[in-house]
A and B are shown apart, each in its own frame.
Chain A
Amino acid sequence: MADYEALKTAVISGKVAQVKELTQQALDDGRNPQEVLDQGLIPAMDIVGAKFSCHEFYIPEMLIAARAMQAGIALLKPGLAAQGGKPRGKVVIGTVKGDLHDIGKNLVGLMLQGGGFEVLDLGADVKPERFVDAVKTNQPHFIMMSALLTTTMLAMKDTVEALKAAGIRNQVKVAVGGAPVTQRFCDEIGADFYASNATGAVTKAKEFLPV
């Protein structure tokens, strides 16, 4: 009998070994990998996000929980792939040109994975044309850009313009975040949404997903 409550608790407290054991146990019990993901790992990361939002969790607790979640997902992946299961959505993330600050971007990536999204991480110091190429190649639902500095966040505008110039702006939703980024800036550059932290990015991504 799969114990999803125990699995959730293990993810939330970052217990990698327990998460592996409980995930494997669920699979051995004949549970569908998608069910284990949907009823165990994803709800656990939803709780982690909520705890982060109310300052019960901080970056370490979030990273440790995400690491445990990824250990579970690794066990589910073969089964999910065999079933042809599709992620909730596909997201290209990256820290913009000139900027090497990537922990915020990494947290967004981890929380998106925890929310059932497929994440393609382009890394840091990403030029607009690389975002454009990634959209052409991977057809994501979203690109999400991060920046630490007021001066580097202007590369977000360059990326939006590059998407327009390539004729693919309407194919993808553009999200922006990072220390100097505001809703006002998001509106100014014609991005689709802004989130102030990783959990907000996941919540907004779910809202903006095409039905």
Chain B
Amino acid sequence: MIEPNFERFRTMLLRTGEPDRVPLGDISVHPMLKASVLGRPVRTLEDEVAFWSAAGFDHVPIEQGLQLTDVIRRQSMHEVEARYAVGTDDTQVRSWATEGKGLITTMAEFESVHWPDPDALDYSAFSRIGTLLPPKVKVIAVLGKVFTCVSWLMGLEGLSYALADDPDLVAAIFERVGRFQHRVAENMLCFDSVGALWHADDIAFKTQLLVSPRVLRTHVFPWYTKMNRLTHTKGRLAVYHSDGALQEVVGDIIACGFDGLNPIEPPAMDINEVKRQYGSKISIIGNIDLGYTLTRGTPDEVRAEVRQRIRALAPGGGYAVASSNSVPEYVPLANFNAMREATFEYGRYPIAP
């Protein structure tokens, strides 16, 4: 059993040398897998703490933000029930974002939205978890979603047309969403249990960015910069997550002040190239392939991939093992376990050649 210790994760993010071990970096694991690892359903905050610690993570993630409010979850998403998981014939429900015409297409619709109050969101988990965490474990507060919330509210196609047809509306929505998420970040950072903020905000897909760097520099990156300044002022660290090919804006992401970049999705990004070009400026977390290895590969293949990544990327610090996106229900338990166990086996510093 490896003692969870957020200092391990923090050292990795700060790149101030090698921690004792390569940390595990995922923040999203499906409840079915959590239950399998823990041996009971994960229903309470106590269960969450027990799972993340038992599974060998140095952190417990807690999410809050506009993305969890009714304006997004109930009015901008659709649910589909299908067989998504492996090893069962049961069906599961997944929420899917609106990609066509969204909730907001005009300034009148924007103004008629019932925007929640960021101060009225439920932060009780952040305070209550303080008494539940093992002594050296911290919370990773999951937030971000500036671009994502806007694209969910407008639909990605609706946002695309509005960029040409109604730029004032686009600016107004980004301003509203950015301000909201910034306030949530302020609130999260009031809790001593929080060790880092994790900005999960997909801006790219397999071959390129969803929108131009100009749009991101105008409407999105300034909010990241503001939130990261606040985070660092409070002595915490910040990780950025986006799927897809980010090559055009990795420099911008670093300039925004992020300490870590996740998930370096293959084949969209070559993690060795990211390490070579940017490894001295930002830590990297992820890249264990959800497209094949974790989902359709064998545990031996998972172990081999983890071992290879650790050998190539972990010496000197600045790397954490994680999936190339998240750990959904269609990752076999044996593969999830293989990823964790291989990290424990091969991830002790100094890294064996």
Contacts and interface: CB of A to CB of B under 8 A. Distances in A.
B330 A151 contact: yes
B205 interface: yes
Contacts of A99: 80
Interface residues of B, number: 37
Interface residues of A, number: 29
A157 to B, nearest CB: 11
Contacts of B209: 55, 58
A151 B295 contact: yes
Given A98-B82, A98-B84, A182 B267 contact: yes
Interface in A148-163: 149-152
Interface of B: 78, 80, 82-86, 96, 99-100, 156-157, 159-161, 163-164, 205-212, 215, 243, 248, 267, 290-292, 295-296, 328-330
Nearest to A53: B207
Contact of A64 (B161, B290, B291): B161
Contact of B296 (A64, A67, A149, A150): A150
Contacts of B291: 150, 179-180, 182
7 contacts: A59-B156, A60-B212, A64-B164, A102-B99, A150-B292, A180-B290, A197-B208
Contacts of A180: 290-291
Contacts of A209: none
B331 to A, nearest CB: 9
Interface in A54-85: 55, 58-61, 63-64, 67
A127 to B, nearest CB: 10
A103 interface: yes
B206 A67 contact: no
Given A151-B295, A151-B328, A179-B205, A60 B82 contact: no
Contacts of B82: 97-98, 125, 152
